[in-house]
Amino acid sequence: MNTTNHKPGRLFIAAFSLCLLAGTISSIAQPGNPLSPEKINAALDEAFTKFKDVKDGKNADYIKELANVDPDIFGIALVTADGQVFTKGDIESKVSIQSVSKVFTMAKVIEEQGHQAIQDKIGVDATGEVFNSIVAVERMRGKEINPLVNPGAIASTSLISGADSAAKWKNIVQVQSDFAGRPLSLNMPVYISEAGDNLRNQAIAHLLLAYGRMYFDPVQATDIYTKQCALNVNTKDLATMAATLANGGVNPVTKKKVVSPETVMYTLPVMATAGLYDDTGIWFYNSGLPAKSGVGGGLLAVCPGKFGIAVVSPPLDAAGNSVKAQLVIRYVVEKLGVNPYLIQPK
Ligand code: GLN
């Protein structure tokens, strides 16, 4: 066989494959584009330097174990919708995910039961109250309890498929892990600390039961919810979870399809309207990005179609949101010019 005769053909195939490959590589973080790796790295570096010495805020301490977490943990991670990872600072230290988990359990319920189920069985209007408000439940007689604050989140957990508590827990760990791109494990001291002291959440679950808005045993639902909040994550995990939403439900690092684009479409607006509790309006006004915080000190935000970003820094403000995380993400969004509401006229 005369190989030389085949060379042009091979060259053509090689060139053709390269073109195909180039076509499949998204231009999200290519040099020369507004979101080039250089620009992303510079924005993260600047934000880190600018805010690393901020000492405002205080660790949550109503869950006793959270008061013992190192307040100086400070990590930033940005994962693009095509799976490029940018980090700065401490991205190894883990904190409990807390309320950030509420997003992914809600997304799973939407995936399993359709978006109408969340609207009909929980409600999607913001309560305008603190995240563990009993008054919010009472005032609305169990309606409009919102999946991103404790009452709606415990109801969400109770709606997750699974014949018993163990099956529901397995389902929740699976979906949180799929979003993060690695198996997440339980922070046992945090779980034990909160489980021994969560009478308020149990009261909320029972009040919901009284209003016909609890869809599983209230004690067990509260326990699964408490465990879900005690899953350990680092900054990169949170950024990957956000990037999976930014990429329409496919984890851009593992390439696994976690939820559908339609599920993401219904998840992001709830984050936009209730992700930072009663300070969501201030957050959204200043960043334009759907986001979610947790009292463990994690905060993630989604730039749809572009990237997910997360920061871990435990000291919180009065509303329960990480002080440094808000400063960093707002800075990066402004620096990169990625507020979706920044519209250049034609
Ligand atoms: N597990 C916490 C609670 O139920 C979660 C609260 C939060 O992160 N805002 O109080």
- The rounded distance, in Å, linking the Cα atoms of 125 and 122 is 9
148 contacts 270 by C-beta, under 8 angstroms? yes
Q: Nearest CA to 83 among 244, 252, 212?
A: 252
Q: Nearest CA to 313 among 242, 250, 234, 255?
A: 234
Delimit the domains of the chain by residue range. 8-336
Q: Is the distance from the beta carbon of residue 194 to the nearest atom of ligand 1 less than 6 Å?
A: yes
Segment-wise mean pLDDT, segments of 10 residues, the chain, 346 residues: 41 43 48 82 98 97 95 98 97 97 98 97 91 91 92 97 97 98 98 95 97 97 98 98 98 98 98 95 97 98 98 97 98 97 94
Mutating to test ligand 1, I would choose from 149, 194, 232, 280 the residue with most ligand atoms within 8 A of its C-beta, which is 194
282 contacts 298 by C-beta, under 8 angstroms? no
**Residue 325: predicted pLDDT:** 98
Residue 164 C-alpha to ligand 1 middle, in angstroms?
Answer: 23
132 contacts 295 by C-beta, under 8 angstroms? no
**Residue 128: predicted pLDDT:** 84
Which position has the token pair 């005369």? 2
Counting atoms of ligand 1 from 1, which one is nearest the CA of 194?
Answer: 1
8-336 CATH fold: Beta-lactamase (3.40.710)
Which run of H or E residues covers position 203?
A: helix 199-210
Mutating to test ligand 1, I would choose from 193, 194, 229 the residue with most ligand atoms within 8 A of its C-beta, which is 229
Q: Is the distance from the beta carbon of residue 98 to the nearest atom of ligand 1 less than 6 Å?
A: yes
Mutating to test ligand 1, I would choose from 98, 105, 149 the residue with most ligand atoms within 8 A of its C-beta, which is 98
**Residue 144: predicted pLDDT:** 85
Q: Nearest CA to 48 among 263, 328, 281?
A: 328
**Residue 329: predicted pLDDT:** 98
Q: Is the distance from the beta carbon of residue 131 to the nearest atom of ligand 1 less than 6 Å?
A: yes
pTM: 0.91
Sequence-ordered list of residues with C-beta below 8 angstroms from that of 71, at least 6 positions apart, any chain: 58, 59, 313, 314, 315
Residue type at position 219: V
